[in-house]
Structure 1
Amino acid sequence: MSQPLTSRRERLRHEAMVEIKRFAMRQLAESGAAGISITAIAKQMGMTGPALYRYFANREALLTALIRDGYADLAETAERVAKRAAALPPAERLQVVAAAVRGWALAEPQRYLLLFGTPVPGYEAPMDTLDTANRTLNVLVAIAAELASDTSRSLLLATIAWTRLHGIISLELVGQFTYLDIDPASLLDGEMNSLVEQAIQPG
């Protein structure tokens, strides 16, 4: 649980950072990661560029904050859905979680592509962002552990589910299914069903 902000200065700083990220998210939605501009955000907020750097040291720091927030939001979505579907059999829960992750991506395509799309030139996300990224994978690991005849295979099965899930979503978001007689939702269902059949096989 996060600690409460203890001073007015801290609260104002937090509010400014939230607003900066809100403008950056708007740029991301309109132009992708390449469109995020510290200078443009400062102008929109009535600040100078150097003043904005008091909150984020550079564009890379702002991108990192957006990536951390994105991974956390996606993970919270997967965790919340998995919890609500806790009474369902694991095979059905897998379908529900996969559909929720796809739904999140379709609702926020540029945000999804920031996390899982083409790397931003000249930018490398810090390794610690993977800690939050792995929370979504851990939801799949927990489901796979219930499905697998050998629970030692749960990480492998979850990783396969993760790969199939993001493969389909990524292709859908860039329009690869547009001219094909393929329904991405049905394709995703089929891939998860195939994985369940694989999971229950011994060995």
Structure 2
Amino acid sequence: MVEKGATSPRERYRAQVRAEIKQHAWEQIASAGASALSLNAIAKQMGMSGPALYRYFANRDELITELIRDAYRSLADTVRAASTLQADLGVLAHALRRWALEDPQRYFLIYGTPVPGYHAPDDITLISGEIMSVLLRACAAATPDRPATSFDEHLESHRHWADESVPTAVMHKALSFWTRCHGVLSLELAGHFTGMGFDPGKLFEAELQDLLAR
């Protein structure tokens, strides 16, 4: 995917080369994992010298940041589009699953094992916050009044990640929804259900229906 904003021939060429570098990076990640990502190996694949490639990405972390940013932005756009069609937890859950199944390596880059020694910049947190904001809005319409739990009380003093107007019960619902959906997805994409004979999609749906019933 060529980067937006490239207008002049030189900018378009640079955007095309960066897109090709990222494609090779995804292929490396698929075969050896993000921690093994090598700019020198990508340069060799592209017939470039290491210093030439560094004109496009200064180091490994800058390339990883770009890949993570692209992944989060893709998911943020996906859940926002789903919520525009219907602000419903079921719709969001299935949009998340389709997105994850479409490209498991992209999913694992942002929700799998952290890359050793890598620290994401603040703008990545802001994009992931967009996803949670969509989820919180959907949960607000699906969370009945109920007695507070001990975890609700804990959340009261750990709610900096949500707007002050969001009820604690809604935050709890969003966290339960997010962790249970990701729990099934992570196990499915990692192949842990292989050979067990059941359809992971039906397990995902059962977990979702249980969440909605609560």
Q: TM-score range by the shorter chain?
A: 0.7 to 0.9
Q: CA deviation at 1:130?
A: 1.6
Give the equivalent residue in structure 2 for 1:195: 211
Contact 1:28/1:111 (<8 A) preserved: no
The ranges of structure 1 where at least 4 consecutive aligned residues each deviate by more than 6 angstroms after the TM superposition are none
Which deviates the most, 64-73 or 113-122?
113-122
1:69-104 deviation line (CA, Å, top 9, x unaligned): 0011112122222222x2xxx6xx322221221122
Flag the 1:42–1:143 CA change in 2: closer, same or farther, 3 A: same
Calculate the TM-score normalised by the size of structure 2: 0.79
Q: CA RMSD in A?
A: 2.2
Alignment partner, residue 31 of structure 2: 30
Give structure 1 stretches of 5+ with no counterpart: 199-203
- One-letter code aligned to 2:200: P
- For these two proteins, the number of residue pairs brought into alignment is 191
Deviations 1:12-64 (A, max 9, x none): 32222222112212222333213422012112222111111111111111011
In the alignment, structure 1 residue 52 sits paired with structure 2 residue 59: no
Q: 14-23 or 106-115, which moves further after superposition?
A: 14-23
Give 1:81's aligned amino acid.
A
Unaligned residue ranges in structure 2 (runs of 5+): 146-165
Q: 1:182 to 1:134 in 2, by over 3 A?
A: farther
Shift of 1:185: 1.7
Aligned partner of residue 141 in structure 2, secondary structure: helix
User: Which secondary structure does the structure 2 equivalent of 1:147 belong to?
Assistant: coil
CA distance in 2, matches of 1:78, 1:4: 24
The normalised TM-score by structure 1 is 0.83
What is the identity percentage for the equivalent residue pairs of Structure 1 and Structure 2?
A: 47
Residue 135 of structure 2: aligned partner:
140
Q: Which residue of 2 aligns with 1:108?
A: 103
Which one is further off, 181-190 or 4-13? 4-13
- Cα distance in 1 for residues equivalent to 2:142 and 2:172: 12
Higher RCO (CA 8 Å, separation ≥ 6 residues): 1
2:17 corresponds to which residue? 16
